[in-house]
Structure 1
Amino acid sequence: MHDRRILTKDEIEKLLEILKNRFERNSHLHRSLKWEEVHRALLHDASAMWSLSQMEATGGEPDVVTLEESSSTLVFMDVAKESPKGRRSLCYDTEALEKRKANKPQNSAMGLAKEMGIELLTEEEYRKVQEMEKLDLKTSSWVKTPEEIRKLGGAVFCDRRYNTVFTYHNGADSYYGSRGFRGKLRIQRT
Protein backbone atom coordinates (compact mmCIF):
# COMPACT_ATOMS: atom_id res chain seq x y z
CA MET A 1 0.00 0.00 0.00
CA HIS A 2 1.33 3.47 -0.97
CA ASP A 3 1.69 6.05 1.82
CA ARG A 4 -0.06 9.16 0.44
CA ARG A 5 2.24 11.43 2.46
CA ILE A 6 5.14 10.23 0.34
CA LEU A 7 5.11 11.27 -3.30
CA THR A 8 5.91 8.86 -6.10
CA LYS A 9 8.94 9.50 -8.31
CA ASP A 10 6.61 10.77 -11.07
CA GLU A 11 4.80 13.12 -8.68
CA ILE A 12 8.13 14.48 -7.42
CA GLU A 13 9.39 15.12 -10.96
CA LYS A 14 6.17 16.92 -11.97
CA LEU A 15 6.17 19.03 -8.81
CA LEU A 16 9.85 19.94 -9.19
CA GLU A 17 9.22 21.04 -12.77
CA ILE A 18 6.32 23.27 -11.68
CA LEU A 19 8.34 24.75 -8.81
CA LYS A 20 11.40 25.36 -10.99
CA ASN A 21 9.35 27.15 -13.69
CA ARG A 22 7.65 29.33 -11.07
CA PHE A 23 11.00 30.01 -9.37
CA GLU A 24 12.48 31.21 -12.66
CA ARG A 25 9.44 33.41 -13.46
CA ASN A 26 9.41 35.03 -9.99
CA SER A 27 13.07 35.93 -9.51
CA HIS A 28 12.00 39.15 -7.75
CA LEU A 29 10.86 37.02 -4.78
CA HIS A 30 14.30 35.47 -4.20
CA ARG A 31 16.94 37.56 -5.98
CA SER A 32 20.10 36.07 -4.44
CA LEU A 33 18.99 32.43 -4.55
CA LYS A 34 19.83 29.79 -7.15
CA TRP A 35 17.46 26.96 -8.15
CA GLU A 36 20.18 24.34 -7.56
CA GLU A 37 20.23 25.19 -3.84
CA VAL A 38 16.43 24.95 -3.61
CA HIS A 39 16.39 21.71 -5.60
CA ARG A 40 19.00 20.13 -3.31
CA ALA A 41 17.07 21.11 -0.15
CA LEU A 42 13.80 19.74 -1.58
CA LEU A 43 15.32 16.37 -2.47
CA HIS A 44 16.44 15.98 1.16
CA ASP A 45 12.97 16.56 2.65
CA ALA A 46 10.22 14.16 1.53
CA SER A 47 7.64 15.56 3.97
CA ALA A 48 8.24 19.07 2.63
CA MET A 49 7.68 17.81 -0.90
CA TRP A 50 4.33 16.35 0.20
CA SER A 51 3.33 19.62 1.90
CA LEU A 52 4.30 21.60 -1.20
CA SER A 53 2.19 19.24 -3.31
CA GLN A 54 -0.75 20.03 -1.04
CA MET A 55 -0.11 23.76 -1.36
CA GLU A 56 -0.03 23.34 -5.13
CA ALA A 57 -3.13 21.10 -5.28
CA THR A 58 -5.21 23.65 -3.33
CA GLY A 59 -4.20 26.52 -5.64
CA GLY A 60 -1.52 28.24 -3.57
CA GLU A 61 1.20 28.35 -6.23
CA PRO A 62 4.03 28.09 -3.66
CA ASP A 63 7.39 29.70 -4.34
CA VAL A 64 10.48 30.59 -2.32
CA VAL A 65 10.25 34.05 -0.80
CA THR A 66 13.39 35.58 0.69
CA LEU A 67 12.42 37.24 3.95
CA GLU A 68 15.90 37.32 5.51
CA GLU A 69 19.11 37.06 3.50
CA SER A 70 21.04 35.14 6.16
CA SER A 71 18.41 32.57 7.08
CA SER A 72 19.37 28.90 7.44
CA THR A 73 15.99 27.94 5.99
CA LEU A 74 14.18 28.40 2.70
CA VAL A 75 10.65 29.74 3.07
CA PHE A 76 7.98 28.70 0.58
CA MET A 77 4.83 30.84 0.58
CA ASP A 78 1.62 30.82 -1.41
CA VAL A 79 1.98 33.49 -4.08
CA ALA A 80 -1.22 32.86 -6.06
CA LYS A 81 -2.78 36.20 -7.06
CA GLU A 82 -5.88 35.46 -4.99
CA SER A 83 -6.34 33.45 -1.81
CA PRO A 84 -6.02 29.76 -2.76
CA LYS A 85 -9.34 28.43 -4.12
CA GLY A 86 -9.01 25.07 -2.41
CA ARG A 87 -8.66 26.79 0.98
CA ARG A 88 -11.59 29.19 1.10
CA SER A 89 -14.83 29.17 3.09
CA LEU A 90 -13.02 28.18 6.29
CA CYS A 91 -13.44 29.57 9.77
CA TYR A 92 -10.25 30.45 11.63
CA ASP A 93 -9.50 27.45 13.88
CA THR A 94 -10.84 24.16 15.23
CA GLU A 95 -12.24 25.79 18.37
CA ALA A 96 -14.32 28.19 16.25
CA LEU A 97 -15.42 25.32 14.00
CA GLU A 98 -16.60 23.27 16.99
CA LYS A 99 -18.51 26.21 18.50
CA ARG A 100 -20.36 26.94 15.29
CA LYS A 101 -23.83 25.38 15.54
CA ALA A 102 -25.38 26.02 12.12
CA ASN A 103 -23.92 26.04 8.60
CA LYS A 104 -20.53 24.73 9.64
CA PRO A 105 -17.77 25.02 7.05
CA GLN A 106 -15.89 21.86 6.06
CA ASN A 107 -12.78 22.78 8.04
CA SER A 108 -10.84 25.61 9.63
CA ALA A 109 -7.82 27.47 8.29
CA MET A 110 -5.61 26.37 11.18
CA GLY A 111 -6.89 22.79 11.00
CA LEU A 112 -6.31 22.46 7.26
CA ALA A 113 -2.88 24.08 7.53
CA LYS A 114 -1.91 21.52 10.18
CA GLU A 115 -3.18 18.65 7.97
CA MET A 116 -1.07 20.03 5.11
CA GLY A 117 2.03 20.44 7.27
CA ILE A 118 2.20 24.22 6.79
CA GLU A 119 1.56 27.35 8.87
CA LEU A 120 -0.52 30.46 8.30
CA LEU A 121 1.43 33.61 7.47
CA THR A 122 1.78 36.16 10.23
CA GLU A 123 0.56 39.68 9.50
CA GLU A 124 4.20 40.80 9.20
CA GLU A 125 5.01 38.05 6.66
CA TYR A 126 1.83 38.86 4.74
CA ARG A 127 2.89 42.51 4.50
CA LYS A 128 6.44 41.55 3.42
CA VAL A 129 5.23 39.35 0.57
CA GLN A 130 2.79 42.11 -0.45
CA GLU A 131 5.80 44.44 -0.85
CA MET A 132 7.12 42.04 -3.52
CA GLU A 133 3.88 40.95 -5.19
CA LYS A 134 0.37 42.45 -5.22
CA LEU A 135 -1.96 39.73 -3.87
CA ASP A 136 -5.55 39.36 -2.68
CA LEU A 137 -7.01 42.14 -4.82
CA LYS A 138 -10.45 40.46 -4.77
CA THR A 139 -10.09 37.97 -1.91
CA SER A 140 -8.78 38.03 1.66
CA SER A 141 -6.65 35.70 3.75
CA TRP A 142 -6.71 34.70 7.40
CA VAL A 143 -3.37 35.39 9.11
CA LYS A 144 -1.99 34.02 12.36
CA THR A 145 -3.96 35.81 15.03
CA PRO A 146 -2.36 37.10 18.24
CA GLU A 147 -3.45 35.01 21.24
CA GLU A 148 -4.97 38.00 23.09
CA ILE A 149 -7.36 38.64 20.16
CA ARG A 150 -8.17 34.96 19.73
CA LYS A 151 -9.01 34.57 23.46
CA LEU A 152 -11.71 37.21 22.98
CA GLY A 153 -13.27 35.29 20.06
CA GLY A 154 -11.74 37.25 17.22
CA ALA A 155 -9.39 36.46 14.35
CA VAL A 156 -7.43 38.61 11.91
CA PHE A 157 -7.36 38.65 8.12
CA CYS A 158 -5.73 40.84 5.47
CA ASP A 159 -6.18 41.90 1.87
CA ARG A 160 -5.04 44.55 -0.61
CA ARG A 161 -7.43 47.25 -1.76
CA TYR A 162 -6.73 50.72 -3.18
CA ASN A 163 -3.04 49.78 -3.45
CA THR A 164 -2.90 49.41 0.35
CA VAL A 165 -2.66 46.32 2.57
CA PHE A 166 -5.42 46.31 5.17
CA THR A 167 -5.74 44.27 8.35
CA TYR A 168 -9.23 43.51 9.66
CA HIS A 169 -10.92 41.41 12.29
CA ASN A 170 -13.90 39.07 12.36
CA GLY A 171 -15.35 36.50 14.69
CA ALA A 172 -13.15 33.41 14.42
CA ASP A 173 -16.20 31.34 13.48
CA SER A 174 -17.02 33.45 10.41
CA TYR A 175 -16.25 32.22 6.92
CA TYR A 176 -16.71 33.56 3.42
CA GLY A 177 -16.34 32.22 -0.10
CA SER A 178 -13.75 34.88 -0.84
CA ARG A 179 -11.61 34.33 2.28
CA GLY A 180 -9.00 31.62 2.56
CA PHE A 181 -5.50 31.51 3.93
CA ARG A 182 -1.94 31.73 2.68
CA GLY A 183 0.56 29.28 4.06
CA LYS A 184 4.28 28.99 4.53
CA LEU A 185 6.66 26.08 4.77
CA ARG A 186 10.21 26.27 6.06
CA ILE A 187 12.79 23.90 4.62
CA GLN A 188 16.30 23.49 6.01
CA ARG A 189 19.04 24.52 3.60
CA THR A 190 21.48 21.71 2.83
Structure 2
Amino acid sequence: MGNETMNKRELSTKQTDELLEVLKARFEKNMERHNSLVWENVQTKLKANPDKLWSLNEMERTGGEPDVVDYDEQSDTYSFYDCAAESPKGRRSVCYDRAALEARKKHKPENSAMDMAAAMGIELLTEEEYRELQKLGDFDKKTSSWVKTPNDIRELGGALFCDYRFGHVFLYHNGADSYYAARGFRGSLTV
Protein backbone atom coordinates (compact mmCIF):
# COMPACT_ATOMS: atom_id res chain seq x y z
CA MET A 1 0.00 0.00 0.00
CA GLY A 2 1.31 3.43 -0.88
CA ASN A 3 1.47 6.30 1.59
CA GLU A 4 -1.38 8.05 -0.21
CA THR A 5 -3.75 5.20 0.58
CA MET A 6 -2.41 4.87 4.13
CA ASN A 7 -2.92 8.58 4.85
CA LYS A 8 -6.47 8.56 3.51
CA ARG A 9 -7.34 5.37 5.37
CA GLU A 10 -9.32 4.28 2.38
CA LEU A 11 -9.05 1.23 0.17
CA SER A 12 -9.22 1.23 -3.59
CA THR A 13 -12.29 -0.32 -5.22
CA LYS A 14 -10.24 -3.43 -6.05
CA GLN A 15 -8.93 -3.74 -2.48
CA THR A 16 -12.45 -3.26 -1.11
CA ASP A 17 -13.87 -5.97 -3.37
CA GLU A 18 -11.05 -8.39 -2.49
CA LEU A 19 -11.43 -7.77 1.25
CA LEU A 20 -15.22 -8.17 1.12
CA GLU A 21 -14.79 -11.52 -0.67
CA VAL A 22 -12.37 -12.73 2.03
CA LEU A 23 -14.66 -11.54 4.83
CA LYS A 24 -17.74 -13.08 3.19
CA ALA A 25 -16.01 -16.46 2.75
CA ARG A 26 -14.88 -16.44 6.40
CA PHE A 27 -18.36 -15.35 7.54
CA GLU A 28 -20.03 -18.22 5.64
CA LYS A 29 -17.45 -20.78 6.76
CA ASN A 30 -17.89 -19.89 10.45
CA MET A 31 -21.64 -19.43 10.90
CA GLU A 32 -21.43 -20.71 14.50
CA ARG A 33 -19.86 -17.34 15.38
CA HIS A 34 -22.91 -15.40 14.13
CA ASN A 35 -25.67 -17.87 13.22
CA SER A 36 -28.52 -15.34 13.25
CA LEU A 37 -26.81 -12.74 11.05
CA VAL A 38 -27.05 -12.19 7.30
CA TRP A 39 -23.93 -11.31 5.28
CA GLU A 40 -25.70 -8.80 3.01
CA ASN A 41 -26.58 -6.65 6.05
CA VAL A 42 -22.98 -6.74 7.27
CA GLN A 43 -21.68 -5.87 3.79
CA THR A 44 -24.06 -2.90 3.47
CA LYS A 45 -22.80 -1.55 6.79
CA LEU A 46 -19.16 -2.07 5.76
CA LYS A 47 -19.58 -0.33 2.40
CA ALA A 48 -21.05 2.68 4.21
CA ASN A 49 -17.93 2.91 6.42
CA PRO A 50 -14.78 2.96 4.25
CA ASP A 51 -12.57 3.89 7.23
CA LYS A 52 -13.72 0.73 9.04
CA LEU A 53 -13.00 -1.33 5.92
CA TRP A 54 -9.47 0.10 5.97
CA SER A 55 -9.08 -1.00 9.61
CA LEU A 56 -10.43 -4.47 8.79
CA ASN A 57 -7.91 -4.67 5.97
CA GLU A 58 -5.15 -3.84 8.47
CA MET A 59 -6.44 -6.60 10.75
CA GLU A 60 -6.40 -9.01 7.80
CA ARG A 61 -2.99 -7.85 6.51
CA THR A 62 -1.36 -8.53 9.91
CA GLY A 63 -2.84 -12.04 10.18
CA GLY A 64 -5.84 -11.41 12.41
CA GLU A 65 -8.51 -13.10 10.25
CA PRO A 66 -11.26 -10.74 11.48
CA ASP A 67 -14.82 -12.04 11.63
CA VAL A 68 -18.19 -10.85 12.93
CA VAL A 69 -18.79 -12.06 16.48
CA ASP A 70 -21.73 -9.92 17.61
CA TYR A 71 -24.53 -7.60 16.54
CA ASP A 72 -25.92 -4.94 18.86
CA GLU A 73 -29.49 -4.27 17.80
CA GLN A 74 -29.83 -1.15 19.94
CA SER A 75 -26.86 0.63 18.34
CA ASP A 76 -27.16 -1.23 15.00
CA THR A 77 -23.46 -2.16 15.08
CA TYR A 78 -21.46 -5.27 14.27
CA SER A 79 -18.40 -6.30 16.28
CA PHE A 80 -15.42 -7.87 14.55
CA TYR A 81 -12.69 -9.66 16.51
CA ASP A 82 -9.45 -11.20 15.31
CA CYS A 83 -10.32 -14.88 14.95
CA ALA A 84 -6.97 -16.31 13.83
CA ALA A 85 -6.23 -19.57 15.66
CA GLU A 86 -3.09 -18.04 17.16
CA SER A 87 -2.19 -14.46 18.06
CA PRO A 88 -1.79 -12.60 14.73
CA LYS A 89 1.71 -13.16 13.30
CA GLY A 90 2.11 -9.59 12.11
CA ARG A 91 1.54 -8.26 15.64
CA ARG A 92 3.87 -10.33 17.80
CA SER A 93 7.06 -9.43 19.66
CA VAL A 94 5.63 -6.14 20.89
CA CYS A 95 5.54 -4.69 24.38
CA TYR A 96 2.30 -3.33 25.80
CA ASP A 97 2.38 0.45 25.18
CA ARG A 98 4.52 3.48 24.25
CA ALA A 99 5.53 4.20 27.87
CA ALA A 100 6.83 0.63 28.22
CA LEU A 101 8.68 0.88 24.91
CA GLU A 102 10.35 4.15 25.90
CA ALA A 103 11.24 2.86 29.38
CA ARG A 104 13.10 -0.12 27.97
CA LYS A 105 16.85 0.55 27.90
CA LYS A 106 18.14 -2.41 25.85
CA HIS A 107 16.77 -4.68 23.14
CA LYS A 108 13.67 -2.60 22.48
CA PRO A 109 10.93 -4.20 20.40
CA GLU A 110 9.97 -2.44 17.18
CA ASN A 111 6.53 -1.40 18.40
CA SER A 112 3.90 -1.68 21.10
CA ALA A 113 0.48 -3.31 21.05
CA MET A 114 -1.38 -0.11 21.96
CA ASP A 115 0.44 1.96 19.31
CA MET A 116 -0.17 -0.64 16.61
CA ALA A 117 -3.85 -0.91 17.51
CA ALA A 118 -4.28 2.88 17.43
CA ALA A 119 -2.54 3.09 14.04
CA MET A 120 -4.89 0.37 12.73
CA GLY A 121 -7.99 2.08 14.13
CA ILE A 122 -8.87 -0.85 16.41
CA GLU A 123 -8.99 -1.59 20.15
CA LEU A 124 -7.23 -4.34 22.10
CA LEU A 125 -9.66 -6.95 23.37
CA THR A 126 -10.55 -6.61 27.02
CA GLU A 127 -10.33 -9.66 29.28
CA GLU A 128 -14.12 -10.03 29.02
CA GLU A 129 -14.06 -9.84 25.22
CA TYR A 130 -11.23 -12.36 25.13
CA ARG A 131 -13.29 -14.77 27.25
CA GLU A 132 -16.29 -14.24 24.92
CA LEU A 133 -14.08 -14.99 21.91
CA GLN A 134 -13.00 -18.28 23.51
CA LYS A 135 -16.66 -19.38 23.61
CA LEU A 136 -16.56 -19.36 19.79
CA GLY A 137 -13.55 -21.66 19.44
CA ASP A 138 -10.14 -22.47 20.88
CA PHE A 139 -7.75 -19.57 20.30
CA ASP A 140 -4.15 -19.01 21.46
CA LYS A 141 -3.41 -22.65 22.24
CA LYS A 142 0.30 -22.00 21.49
CA THR A 143 0.52 -18.21 21.72
CA SER A 144 -0.74 -15.48 24.05
CA SER A 145 -2.32 -12.07 23.53
CA TRP A 146 -2.02 -8.79 25.40
CA VAL A 147 -5.42 -7.55 26.63
CA LYS A 148 -6.51 -4.07 27.64
CA THR A 149 -5.06 -3.49 31.08
CA PRO A 150 -6.77 -1.53 33.88
CA ASN A 151 -5.02 1.76 34.73
CA ASP A 152 -4.20 0.78 38.33
CA ILE A 153 -2.19 -2.24 37.11
CA ARG A 154 -0.56 -0.30 34.29
CA GLU A 155 0.46 2.54 36.62
CA LEU A 156 2.46 0.01 38.65
CA GLY A 157 4.34 -1.15 35.53
CA GLY A 158 2.30 -4.24 34.74
CA ALA A 159 0.15 -5.37 31.85
CA LEU A 160 -2.20 -8.31 31.32
CA PHE A 161 -2.28 -11.06 28.73
CA CYS A 162 -4.35 -14.19 28.15
CA ASP A 163 -4.04 -17.57 26.53
CA TYR A 164 -5.96 -20.84 26.29
CA ARG A 165 -4.45 -23.96 27.88
CA PHE A 166 -5.88 -27.17 29.35
CA GLY A 167 -9.39 -26.24 28.23
CA HIS A 168 -9.39 -22.92 30.12
CA VAL A 169 -8.67 -19.23 29.56
CA PHE A 170 -5.82 -18.00 31.72
CA LEU A 171 -5.16 -14.38 32.63
CA TYR A 172 -1.59 -13.47 33.54
CA HIS A 173 0.52 -10.42 34.29
CA ASN A 174 3.91 -9.34 33.05
CA GLY A 175 5.99 -6.20 33.01
CA ALA A 176 4.49 -3.97 30.31
CA ASP A 177 7.93 -3.69 28.70
CA SER A 178 8.26 -7.43 28.13
CA TYR A 179 7.81 -8.96 24.71
CA TYR A 180 7.95 -12.47 23.31
CA ALA A 181 7.89 -14.06 19.88
CA ALA A 182 4.70 -15.94 20.83
CA ARG A 183 2.82 -12.94 22.27
CA GLY A 184 0.88 -10.46 20.19
CA PHE A 185 -2.54 -8.90 20.54
CA ARG A 186 -6.06 -9.40 19.27
CA GLY A 187 -8.19 -6.47 18.28
CA SER A 188 -11.82 -5.51 18.03
CA LEU A 189 -13.61 -3.17 15.66
CA THR A 190 -17.20 -1.96 15.84
CA VAL A 191 -18.94 -1.05 12.58
TM surpasses 0.5: yes
Which structure is higher in RCO with an 8 Å CA cutoff and minimum separation 6? 1
Unaligned runs of 5+ in 2: none
Output the CA distance in 1 between the equivalents of 2:74 and 2:60: 27
Deviation at 1:70, TM superposition (A): 4.9
- Count of matched residue positions in the alignment of Structure 1 and Structure 2: 187
Runs of 4+ in 1 over 6 A off after TM superposition: none
Offset at 1:72?
2.4
* TM superposition score normalised by structure 1: 0.95
User: How do 1:74-153 and structure 2 match up within 5 A?
Assistant: 74-153=78-157
Task: Identify unmatched segments of 5+ residues in structure 1.
Answer: none
- Structure 2 CA distance, aligned partners of 1:6 and 1:84? 22
1:63 has 2:67 as partner: yes
Name the aligned partner's letter for residue 158 of structure 2. G
- In structure 2, which of residues 68, 71, 76 is the aligned counterpart of residue 72 of structure 1? 76
Do the aligned residues in 2 keep the contact of 1:88 with 1:181 (CA within 8 Å)? yes
Q: Distance in 1 between the 2:90 and 2:5 partners?
A: 22
Q: 2:182 aligns with which of 167, 178, 184?
A: 178
Q: How does 1:151-162 map to 2 (within 5 A)?
A: 151-162=155-166
Retained in 1: the 8 A contact 2:71–2:78?
no
Identity %: 59
Alignment partner, residue 38 of structure 1: 42
Query: Conserved in 2, the CA contact under 8 Å of 1:78 and 1:183?
Result: yes
Measure, in 2, the Cα distance between the counterparts of 1:114 and 1:166.
25
- Secondary structure, aligned partner of 1:13: helix
